[in-house]
Structure 1
Amino acid sequence: MFRKNVTDIFFDLDHTLWDFEKNSALTFGKILNENGLDVVLDDFLEVYAPINLEYWKLYRENRVSKSELRYQRLRRSFDHIGVTVSDEMINILAHQYIQHLSSFTHLIPNTVEVLDYLAPKYKLHIITNGFQEVQEKKLRKGNIHHYFVEVINSETAGVKKPHPQIFEMALKKASVEPENALMVGDNLEADIQGAISVGMKALHFNAHRESEHQVCQMINDLIEIKSIL
């Protein structure tokens, strides 16, 4: 399906290559313990995960700022599990979370094998809505930075996926036409529909076990890319 025309592959980072859930859990385990907070980690993460996704959607839609996202996702999570935490501690945790998150380096299964397979055949790039200061560290500490020619993030682009401008900027920086470009990502709205809107091909990595759809081809494991490309 994609072999014929594709020359450049653009990947999302979090939840697609970098194992956000596992690394985030390890980060919270570290900072909650070091700050002496009596919280059952699994209970906290169970409520934090959907709240975090909700606030990232608001952030993509420019309905909250970066600082509001970082504060509110923690405030609402602690309130939900009935743990009293001061605003000062929330701000400390928000800072420490960003500080330590990229120190954990777990990747989605088969990431390196797939990148090794693709790198000799295609130019590889990243398009991410993540914060610039964090995403660069994730790539370098995860030892996958060298696979990518261009790394485009929403802070330098001035807009977030699925806005067409970030995809157009990525295509321009990579010097590739949309019909020769493939986007691989976990978020149906931000990654897949955003890429399709500018004429790119798209492959949905079903990291969140969503139901089948007809928007584009879907894979459940990155290793499936080897049979597609």
Structure 2
Amino acid sequence: MILYYHPLSSYCWKVLIALYENAIMFEPKMLDDPATAQAWLTLWPLGKFPLLRDEARGNTVAEASIIIEYLGQHCPGPFRPIPQDEGAALEVRLMDRLFDNYVMTPVQALVGDRIRPEGVPRDPYGADQARATLKKAYAVLEERMRARRWAAGEEFTLADCAAAPSLFYADRIEPMRRGFPALSAYMERVEARESFARVLREKEPVWHMFPFANG
């Protein structure tokens, strides 16, 4: 297994959590090396990461949620990303979409606005809309997760692989811990879980590159 990734990408963190949960052996390849980047683009010309290359099966797997499901099928372990129960599985997939579409998407918009090249005007209206979306998402997630230990219920799933990085980044841009006690308690639990704690430790050498690292 080869994972093409960037150490600050929330979607790469999403896959890393799943890999670490089941102690799956893989070769990480950062995209700062030109040869690695070229190999990645040859496999996936759309130029998005993370990307998993399963050499043993001859498969190239794109998109974080699909990669995690693929790992669940071919590298099973105690962590089950998708429950067997159909209703529970739908809830996991819904929560995965909520975190990706309504937390990480506005976060990416705000990061993109912050790092615009010199001479390119910022988009204050778009930034305000992104922050408004985050606040709405916090309220919806607070209510939905109020009685849950993990993002979709009592078991750690794909939904948590999405929740942990998206909420971690969002909280640095639009703080939520004081106003949303259920989300705050969830973040304390998930940051203490070894799979995500490892991701957070590994980001430290490059964390200064995140434009909101210092607020």
TM beyond 0.5:
no
TM-score normalised to structure 1 length:
0.27
Structure with the higher fraction of residues in strand conformation: 1
Structure with the higher fraction of residues in helix conformation: 2
